Amino acid sequence: MRRHRRGEDGLPHVAAAQHARQRRSGQDSEERGRWRSVLSDRRQRVLAALIEEYVARALPVGSRTLTERYQLGVSPATVRNELSVLEDEGYIAQPHTSAGRIPTDHGYRAFVDNLLETDMGNDDVRYAEVVDELRRSASELDSLLGRTSTALTRLTDCLSIVLAPSVLNLHIKQLSLVSLNPHRALVVLVTEDGQVFNRQMEFAEEVAAEDLAQVQRFLGDVFTGKTLHEIEDGLGAGMVEAFRDPLVRMALDEVLSCLQESSSSRARRLGVCSLLTKPEFSQSQALLPVMQVLEDDTVLLHILDDAAAGGAGPTVRIGRENEAEELAGVSVVANHYGRGESAGIVAVIGPTRMDYSKVIRAVRIASSALEDV
């Protein structure tokens, strides 16, 4: 059963999320200033080194490891003292008395906020090359979305999700009715951004190809250049009289159904197998709650829309910062692409022990590749 948190004011899931988004930007800025004032430069370096080591090896980190592998410029005793302070402040934790430390969600948040404030504009040539290759090899948005999701999974070794722009707000560029046989036809829709949707329709009685072509011309003249919302508004304004012909009416219903189904099936997901290789999800039962949340496109859209609501650039939700309790063990890095109501979302989901620098760069580059398509 999915469990989504209610807001502080008892608001339902969706309303609580909208209410929370209005407060988040200022709270995030306050949090960044707070941790930077609490942590000295040396303490920040120790925390960053511990996180880097833990991300690489997935093992608790001790002071000796940090001293030997990272040029911190201080003695092991000083590092031990700094680790003790970081633990007291809630940035790291010690899972066992004899073990080293691991980062907490609070520690990851401090690290990521510092990362986002640094200049990440000089992205690696490798990522730029990936973007160029994506744009050269994909002439349609459908193909580009799929290739982008594949590239994100390859670059981050995590679960990647690419949400297409909502078809409800896109203009129809082309509408075709293709006769397959006298009892069956294919509805094909192409939107202004290059998305292609199709749906089969069946006839109880034989329909001649010439009659189908006539219906195509009529519907094409009426709907080309309009959005689904505009089509529905037009129908409500008195256009119903034009659709008394049963074949026209049937084709219209199929066109509307095709658009509506496409609007609720927008996600390209790849990389579940990559997550299963992580120590945190070595047993599939640990990943099951995450997948149960993500399998529902409506829930997924809401979660990612909230995760990407931080404004310009990628937004990071770490562990229990995610709305759905099932996502408490993962981080979500998400970014919008496109503009207005037709914007899509690029996201990467992985364990909180992810390489945030690499993932943030990959999400930023992927959204840039899709921005002007």
The burial class, CB within 10 Å (0-12 / 13-18 / 19+), for 363 is: buried
Residue range 87-125, pLDDT digits in tens: 999 999 998 877 799 999 999 999 999 887 765 555 555
Confidence (pLDDT) at 51: 97
Task: Compute the C-alpha angle 350/352/354, nearest 5°.
Answer: 65
* pLDDT value at 232 more than 80: no
How confident is residue 18, by pLDDT bands cut at 50, 70 and 90? Answer: very low
Average confidence (pLDDT) over 313-326 = 91
CA distance linking residue 254 with residue 199, whole number of Å:
7
351 touches 331 (CB < 8 A): yes
| CATH number for 185 | 3.30.390.60
Work out how many domains the chain is built from and give that number.
Answer: 3
Q: Does position 27 have pLDDT exceeding 60, yes or no?
A: no
Classified as helix, coil or strand, 197 is: strand
pLDDT exceeds 50 at position 1: no
In a domain, 21, yes or no: no
- Angstrom CA distances, 351 to 103, 158, 217, 287, stand at 12, 8, 52, 10
In tens, the pLDDT along 162-174 reads 887 776 677 888 8
Q: What is the pLDDT of residue 79?
A: 95
Q: What CATH number does residue 91 fall under? A: 1.10.10.10
Is it the case that residue 225 has pLDDT exceeding 80?
A: yes
Rg of the chain over Cα atoms, rounded to whole angstroms, equals 25
Q: What is the rounded average pLDDT of the residues 191-219?
A: 86
Contact 269, 161 (CB under 8 A): yes
CA angle 283, 286, 292 (to 5 degrees): 125
* Residues 199-214, mean pLDDT to the nearest whole number: 90
Burial string for 77-89 (b: 16+ CB within 10 Å, else e) reads eebeebbeebeeb
User: For residue 243, what pLDDT band results from cuts at 50, 70 and 90?
Assistant: low
Q: What percent of the chain has pLDDT over 90?
A: 29
From 49, 82, 117, give the residue that closes a domain.
117
pLDDT tier for residue 189 given thresholds of 50, 70 and 90: confident
Looking at the structure, tell me whether residues 153 and 198 fall in a common domain. Answer: no
Instruction: Say if CB 148 and CB 127 are below 8 A apart.
Output: no
145 and 273 belong to one structural domain: yes
pLDDT tens column, 339-351 = 766 678 899 999 9
| pLDDT on residue 6 | 39
Give the rounded distance of the alpha carbon of 284 from its chain centre: 22
What pLDDT digit, counting tens, does each position of 52-79 carry?
999 999 999 999 999 999 999 899 999 9
Q: Which structural domain, as residue segments, surrounds residue 139?
A: 125-166+266-371
| CB-based contact 373:193 (threshold 8 Å) | yes
Q: pLDDT value at position 16?
A: 39
Average pLDDT, the chain: 79
223 or 45, which is more confident: 45
- Rounded to an integer, what distance in angstroms lies between the CA atom of residue 373 and that of residue 216? 28
**pLDDT of 9 higher than 50:** no
pLDDT the model gives residue 25: 46
- pLDDT at residue number 360: 93
For the ranges 55-69, 115-129, 193-207, 243-257, the one whose mean pLDDT is highest: 55-69
| 329 lies in the same domain as 296 | yes
pLDDT at 266: 65
Q: What does the pLDDT read at residue 8?
A: 39
pTM of the model: 0.72
What mean pLDDT comes out for the span 142-159?
Answer: 85
Residues 362 and 295 in one domain: yes
Q: Is the pLDDT of residue 233 over 60?
A: yes
Task: Give the residue, 36 or 56, on which the prediction is more confident.
Answer: 56
In a domain? residue 68: yes
Among residues 315, 356, 329, the alpha carbon closest in space to that of 275 is found at 329
pLDDT confidence of residue 350: 95
Structure tokens at 76: 């092991």
The Cα–Cα gap between 128 and 225 comes to 34
Could you tell me the pLDDT band of residue 14, with boundaries at 50, 70 and 90? Answer: very low
Residue 214 in this model has a pLDDT that exceeds 80: yes
Do residues 187 and 258 both lie within one domain? yes
Residue 161: HSE in the Cβ half-sphere, 13 Å Cα cutoff: 28
- Out of 223, 242, 263, pick the residue that ends a domain: 263
Assess if residue 19 is contained within a domain. Answer: no
Q: What is the pLDDT of residue 274?
A: 86
- Indicate whether 346 belongs to any domain: yes
Distances (CA, A) of 194 to 2, 126, 134, 160, 338: 34, 27, 15, 21, 13
What pLDDT does residue 12 have? 34
Residue 307 CB-density burial (10 A; 0-12 exposed, 13-18 middle, 19+ buried): buried
Q: Would you say 179 and 207 are in contact if contact means Cβ atoms under 8 Å apart?
A: yes
